[in-house]
């Protein structure tokens, strides 16, 4: 899509999930990176998901600026969620602990993304509008009794140009 490549960003987030010590994604034994658009990923949650999940949840876009500027803002939402397993009967404490852990991991990812963006201005974060990122708790539970946080990442890109070769007339 235009200058922003969603697959490239997905691969980047997956690489962070593999590298982060509290997430430790592995495709076969400990799935922690989930694409909501992927039935295979979602179906793997009950079988081999780790206790921490990073989910690419939503991808939206809108036109910004004037028509002559031809700009788009695309936004991707990442969920950072932790499974809550109550063993002592105190659900409130378990949920609060999960929310804190998810928030800490989310901000670990935030700090890493900012560092990576500053070190590589042509990678998957090249159009990130870091000053417009949003963070908020997820209304839970979601998935398999997971609680956590959502991070919205906006990217400003050039809109695709009109291509006359694509049209009859």
Beta-bridged to residue 79, according to DSSP, are: 55, 150
Taking a C-beta distance cutoff of 8 angstroms, is the pair 160, 1 a contact?
Answer: yes
Domain coordinates of the chain in residue numbers? 6-159
Query: How far is residue 129's CA from residue 17's CA, in Å, rounded to a whole number?
Result: 22
* CA 102 to chain CA mean position, Å: 13
Please name the CATH architecture into which domain 6-159 falls. 2-Layer Sandwich (3.30)
Q: How far is CA 126 from CA 96, 99, 144, in A?
A: 35, 30, 34
- Say how many Å lie between the first and final Cα of the chain, rounded: 24
Each of the 169 residues of the chain gets a pLDDT tens digit; together they read 344 567 889 999 999 999 999 998 887 777 889 886 665 665 666 666 778 999 998 888 899 989 888 898 999 999 999 999 877 788 899 999 999 999 999 999 999 999 999 998 778 898 899 999 999 999 878 887 899 999 999 999 888 888 999 999 8
CB atoms closer than 10 angstroms to residue 152: 16
Three-state DSSP at 126 gives coil
């Amino acid at each position: 899509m235009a200058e922003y490549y969603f697959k490239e960003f997905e691969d980047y987030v997956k690489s962070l999930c593999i590298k982060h010590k509290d997430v430790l994604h592995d495709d076969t034994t400990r799935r922690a990176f989930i694409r909501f658009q992927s039935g295979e990923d979602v179906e793997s949650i009950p079988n081999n998901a780790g206790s921490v999940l990073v989910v690419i949840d939503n991808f939206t876009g809108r036109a910004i600026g004037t028509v002559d500027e031809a700009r788009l803002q695309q936004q991707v939402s990442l969920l950072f969620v932790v499974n809550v397993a109550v063993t002592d009967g105190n659900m409130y404490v378990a949920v609060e602990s999960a929310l804190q852990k998810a928030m800490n991991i989310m901000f670990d990812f935030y700090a890493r993304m900012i560092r990576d963006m500053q070190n590589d201005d042509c990678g998957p974060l090249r159009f990130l509008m870091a000053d417009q990122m949003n963070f908020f708790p997820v209304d839970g539970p979601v998935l398999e009794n997971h609680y956590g946080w959502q991070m919205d990442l906006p990217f400003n890109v050039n809109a695709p140009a009109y291509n006359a070769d694509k049209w009859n007339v």
